[in-house]
Amino acid sequence: MLSNRHRARLRGFGRKLFNTKKHCKRFDGDCLSLADVPEPMHATIYCNGDITTIERGLYLGVMIKVLRNDITEPNIIVAVGDARYVLDRRVANKIRVRIGD
């Protein structure tokens, strides 16, 4: 019988072994992560599965502007319409955008 501790370790090992990088369903190779967009570039949201950010206005097709993206910082600042958001780099990494458009 495995202890909880060993069960958790085994689960972690399994996740590492079978984890393949999954792109979003709309991924077509022509987009990049929002966290990789340099400031002060404009970008259009191409794929976003995070409901929290969608509800704040980062929906498909909206144009955003990266106001601050310093790789030494854990967050980026984006302008969405007239709103300004601080986005965690981990959240920004999951949002796919196309530069310009």
Partner 1 sequence: MNKRPTIALAGNPNVGKTSLFNALTGARQTVGNWPGVTVEHKEGLYLHAGQEYRVIDLPGIYSLSAGSPDEQVARNFILTEKPDLVINIVDASNLERNLYLTVQLMELQTPMMLILSMMDIAKSNGLEIDIMHLQSHLGYPVYPLVLNKKPDLPALKTSIQHSLLNPAFPGIIHYDEIVEQSLTRLDTALLPTIPEEVNLRRWTALKLLEGDPTIAQKVPPVILEAVAKETKAISAHRRQNVDAVIADDRYGYIRGLTKDVVKRQALSLHTFSDRTDKVVLNSYLGLPIFFFVMYLVFLIAVRFSQPVIGYIDAALSYLLVEQLGALIALTIVPEWLRFLVVEGIGGGIVTIGTFIPPIFFIFVSLSFLEDSGYMARAAFIADKFMRRVGLPGKAFIPLLVGFGCTVPAIMATRTLESKRDRIFASLLTPFMSCGAKLPVYTFLVMIFFPQRADLVIFSLYMSGVVMAMVTALLLKKTLFKTEPGNFVMELPPYHLPTLNGILLHTWHRLRDFILRAGKTILMVIVLINILQVITIPDPFTRRTAADQVQPRVPILEVGGKLITPLFYPMGIKSDNWQASVALISGIFAKEAVVGSLQSLNREPGASVEENIAAKFGGWSSTFAYLLFIVLYAPCVASLAMMFKEHGTRWLIFTVAYLTALAWVIGTLFYQIVNFNTGSWLWIGVSAAIAASFYLILSYSGRNTDHAIK
List contacts with partner 1 (CB under 8 A).
4-5, 8, 25-26, 48-49, 51-57, 59-60, 62, 67-68, 70, 73-75, 77, 79-88, 90-91
- For the bound state, the minimum distance from the C-beta of residue 42 to partner 1, rounded and expressed in Å, comes to 11
Q: Measured between alpha carbons, how far is 31 from 26 in angstroms, rounded to an integer?
A: 10
Q: For the CA atoms of 32, 34, 38, 43, what is the dihedral angle to 10 degrees?
A: 80
Closer by beta carbon to partner 1, 57 or else 99:
57
Query: Amino acid identity, residue 30?
Result: D
Three-state DSSP class for 21? coil
- For the bound state, the minimum distance from the C-beta of residue 44 to partner 1, rounded and expressed in Å, comes to 13
